[in-house]
Chain A
Amino acid sequence: MTHNHPHVHPQQPDLEDAPFTEYQVMAQAMEELLLAKGLITAEAMRQGIEAMDAPNPADGARLVARCWVDPAFEARMLESVNSAAKELGLNLGQTPIHALQDTPQVHHVIVCTLCSCYPTALLGEKPDWYTSRAYRARVVREPRAVLAEFGTHLPDDIEVHVQDSTARHRYIVIPIRPEGTDGLTEAELAACVTRDCLIGVALPRKPR
């Protein structure tokens, strides 16, 4: 039995006249079959999409800024990001997220070479480049060359440590506080920190 109820399944192709691919058709067909079989509900799909759009790298930036002004908070972040983040009203769920602390001598970069595991509960959607073969293949082998493609140039005497997220644990970087930020408020400090800083491919910068 097929199910053709356009009014129940209002999903349009993403752009009205854009070509649609075989895989878009397949995805839509599966969704409709699962709905018809009662294995998923439209409401759960709607809530899931809302939840997927909720996390924001700005929340990661707030955690970093708090680390910079409060060493005791940073110590709690190093124990567990999930736990410490509750203090800022963030519920990051069950997947453990760990913080890797940069120092003036050590810089961290995060990858998942095998697929693209990413701390989505905190940072939201993965950047395309993070899922790309090029990033996954090269960043473990030549991290500085990869960082240079983001415009990030590390001094030769800094150590680079690449974390490959191969298990259920997820990682973020706590970068070091940039120079010239002594007078900034915590919110202003957070504005220095982008999503890419939390992955380790960029360094925080005082906005102009």
Chain B
Amino acid sequence: MRRPHDVGGLEAGPLDTEEHPSEPWEKRVLVMRQLLGRQQPPIISADELRRGIEDLGADDYNRLSYHERWTAAIANILLHKGVISVDELGQQMHVVETRWQQERAL
């Protein structure tokens, strides 16, 4: 089997060589993972993150952006390890979304 991330040698289209500096939220995701990797033992190591991204499945792997894949993988691992619960995450996502909608409405 060839897994979705293992793309070396496959056909693909032209490159987009334009620069797209990362957005602040994207940098925060990288730093968040880095901090989680500094615990002893790591809450999420770089290797665990890579595995988590690979395990997203072909649909999500191909549909999501690089930083969205990181976000999805981090969420899955934190849930799997019981660092956060599904319920906590759902509630906090609702809080954030509501806050941002309210801020935009002002």
Contact = CB atoms under 8 A, between A and B. Distances in A.
On whether the two chains bind one another, the answer is yes
B32 A27 contact: yes
Contact of B32 (A12, A30, A146): A30
B92 A3 contact: yes
Pick the most buried of B7, B20, B97: most chain A CB atoms within 10 A of its CB: B7
A48 B37 CA distance: 12
A131 to B, nearest CB: 5
Contact of B15 (A21, A31, A149): A149
The number of chain B residues touching the other chain, given as a range, is 35 or more
Interface of B is mostly: helix
Contact of B27 (A3, A52, A134): A52
Contacts of B11: 137-138
Interface in A140-174: 140-141, 146, 149-150, 164
B15 A49 contact: no
Nearest to A112: B8
Contact of A137 (B10, B28, B36): B10
A133 B12 contact: yes
A29 B50 contact: no
Interface in A57-91: none
Given A23-B72, A114-B5, A135 B104 contact: no
The number of chain A residues touching the other chain, given as a range, is 35 or more
B23 A14 contact: yes
B12 A128 contact: no
A28 B91 CA distance: 12
Given A4-B99, A28-B25, A31-B32, A128 B19 contact: yes
Contacts of B95: 2-4, 29, 32
Contact of B16 (A111, A128, A164): A128
10 contacts: A3-B92, A4-B99, A16-B103, A23-B72, A25-B93, A26-B89, A27-B74, A39-B35, A111-B8, A116-B66
A-B pairs, top 8 by smallest CB distance, nearest first, are A113-B8, A48-B31, A29-B92, A137-B12, A134-B12, A137-B7, A23-B68, A137-B10
Interface of A: 2-4, 6, 11-14, 16-17, 20-21, 23-34, 37, 39-40, 44-45, 48-49, 52-53, 111, 113-116, 125, 127-129, 131-138, 140-141, 146, 149-150, 164
Interface of B: 5-25, 27-32, 34-36, 39, 43, 50, 53, 62, 64-68, 71-72, 74-75, 78, 83-84, 88-89, 91-97, 99-100, 103-104
